[in-house]
Chain A
Amino acid sequence: MSELLHLPLEALHVELGAKMVPFAGYSMPVQYGLGVMKEHLHTRTAAGLFDVSHMGQVILRGADYQTVALAFEALVPVDVAGLGLNRQRYGYFTNAAGGIEDDLMLANRGDHLFVVINAACKDADIALMRAGLPADVTLEVIEDRALLALQGPLAEDVLAAINPAARDMRFMDVATLDLAGAACWVSRSGYTGEDGYEISVPAPAAETLARALLADPRVAPIGLGARDSLRLEAGLCLYGHDIDAHTSPIEAGLGWAIQKVRRTGGARAGGFPGAARILSELQTTAPRARVGLLPEGRAPMREGTALYATEHSDQPIGHVTSGGFGPTVAAPVAMGLIARDHAAVGTPLYGEVRGKRLPVMVVALPFTPANFKR
C-alpha cells in the first residue's frame, strides 16, 4: 500500500478531537468527541457537518452538454442527456456482466457534466471513463477542492444564514453559491436520508467555510461512523458492501435510477454495459433482491452474516450486506441480498450470529423516513 493521503481539513479534524483512521487510502475522521451514537442523532435532529473530501470530483467537457451527456450514456443506464440544467441525478457505472462498477452522482452544469464518485473506486472509475469516452470529451479530475456535506433538518437554516440563496434550492438542485468568500458548487442532496447540501469548496477556503458552519451552534462535526449508520437507516447502498461488480442494479433495487428513455422501448434504450441482463431483469425479475432486515433481538447482524429460511435449514438463502445498530431506530438494523422467493416484506428469516440462528424479519426500506426538500 502507498502512504496514507491527507486532505485539506485534517488539522481542523484533529483540533476538533477527531479519531482519524485510514479509509480508502485517506486519513479520515471516523468520529469526534460526541461519539457515533450522538453524532448520528444530532444529524437527524439538527445539522451535521461531514468532510467527504476523499470522494472523487470530475468534470467532463465536450462541444456542449449534449455531446458529453450522450457519450456518458455509454457508461451508465441513466438518462444523462435529459437531465435538466443545474439538476443532479443518481447513477452507476455498469459492467459487461450487468454488475455495478461504482455508484455516483452526476449534474448538468450547462457547459459541463459534473460527476462525484466513491473514494475507493476513484482510480478505476477514472480509467473506465477515459477508456469509454470519445476523444472529444475531456476529463478533468478536480484535486483542488474539498467536499463538505451539511445534513439534517436544520441544514437549510444554517446554510441560508450564510447565503440566503441556499433556501431556494430544491432536492437535487445544483447551484454555484458564494460561501465564505468562495465560489462553491452546491447540490441539495446527501447520503443520510435527511435534507441537506453537499458543497464542493476550493481547498484554500475549505477551513474558513467549515469553521463558519461549525460556529453555528446547531452544527456538530460528524465522522464516517455516523455517516455509515445514517445511510444504513436511510436504506442507501454502500459500494463494495451492498452493491459490487457482481450485483445487478435490479437485484440491488436500483432500477428506479434507469429512466424510461434508457429502458426497452425507450428512445435511447440500452447502449450501456450489461444492458441485455439489466433490461431483461427490469422486465421480468432478478433472482436475488436487496431487502431491509430487522433483527428481533438486540444483537446486531453484521455484514457477512448468513441468512437462512428456517432455524435448521442447511443452505443459506443470502447474507447481510450492511448491518449494525440504528441509533434512530434504537435497535439493530441491516440490509441483505437474498433469494427473491424469501424477499417479501414480513418474511421471517434467521441470521446465524456466533453459531446461533437468531430471528430476523424482512422489512421495507428505509428504516427512517426520508426527509428531503422536494
Chain B
Amino acid sequence: MKFTEDHEWLRIEGDLVVVGITEHASTQLGDVVFVELPEVGTMVAAGDEIVVIESVKAASDIAAPLDGEIVEINEAIVEEPSKVNADPLGDAWFFKMKVDDLSLLDQFMDEDEYKDLVD
C-alpha cells in the first residue's frame, strides 16, 4: 500500500488502483456525514478535486492522486457515510482508477514513511 501527503491510501488491484483515506484522515475529519464521488468514466488529472467529503465539522476535498479514468466507485459510502469512520482502510474505499503506468505509484510514501509524516 502507498500513501499520499493528502492522507489517501493507494492499493494495486490487478491493473487498477484502489483509493481511500487513511485512519489518520478519518479521525481528523470526525464523523463523516456526506460523500460525493465522481462518475464512472470520468477522466481525471492528478490534483483534480474529485471527491467531496463532509464531516459534522467541515467539508474537505480529495484529489485524484494520478492521471487516469475512474472505473468504479463505492456507492456504499454514499449511502452510509459513517463507514468511512468505521473501516477507512477496508470497506470504505472511495474509487478505483485505471492509470497509464502502475510504476507511477513508486513516487508515493510507503507505510513507514507515512507513519513518520503523521506521528
Residues of chain B with a CB closer than 8 A to A324's CB: 56-57
Residues of B within 8 A of A229 (CB): 56
Please, which residues of chain B bring their CB within 8 A of the CB of A221? Answer: none
**Could you tell me the distance in whole angstroms from the C-beta of B53 to the nearest C-beta in chain A?**
11
Are the C-beta atoms of A300 and B30 separated by less than 8 Å?
no
**Minimum C-beta distance from B77 to chain A (A):** 12
Does A36 lie within 8 Å of B56, measured CB to CB? yes
Interface hit among B3-11, B31-39, B106-114: B31-39
State whether B31 touches A299 (Cβ < 8 A). Answer: no
Is A299's CB under 8 angstroms from B30's CB?
no
Is B59 engaged at the interface, CB distance under 8 Å to the other chain?
A: yes
For B52, the chain A residues whose CB sits under 8 A away are 299, 354
Residues on B with beta carbons closer than 8 Å to the beta carbon of A332: 33-34
Given contacts A299-B34, A325-B34, contact A36 B54 (CB under 8 A): no
Interface centre among B36, B57, B58 (most CB of A within 10 A): B57
Cβ distance B61 to chain A, nearest Cβ, rounded Å: 9
In Å, the complex CA distance between A354 and B38 comes to 14
Find out whether the CB atom of A37 lies under 8 angstroms from the CB atom of B31. yes
Interface assignment of A225: CB less than 8 Å from any CB of chain B: yes
The CA of A31 and the CA of B31, in the complex, are separated in Å by 11
**Contact, CB under 8 Å: B59 / A325:** no
Q: Would you call A374 an interface residue if the criterion is a C-beta within 8 Å of the partner chain's C-beta atoms?
A: no
A299 touches B54 (CB 8 A): yes
| Residues in A neighbouring B36, C-beta threshold 8 A | 299
Between-chain CB contacts (< 8 Å), 16 pairs:
A35-B30, A36-B56, A36-B57, A37-B30, A37-B31, A225-B30, A225-B56, A229-B56, A299-B52, A300-B33, A300-B54, A302-B58, A325-B31, A327-B31, A332-B33, A332-B34
- 7 additional contacts, CB 8 Å, given A299-B54, A325-B31? A35-B30, A225-B30, A225-B56, A229-B56, A299-B36, A299-B52, A300-B34
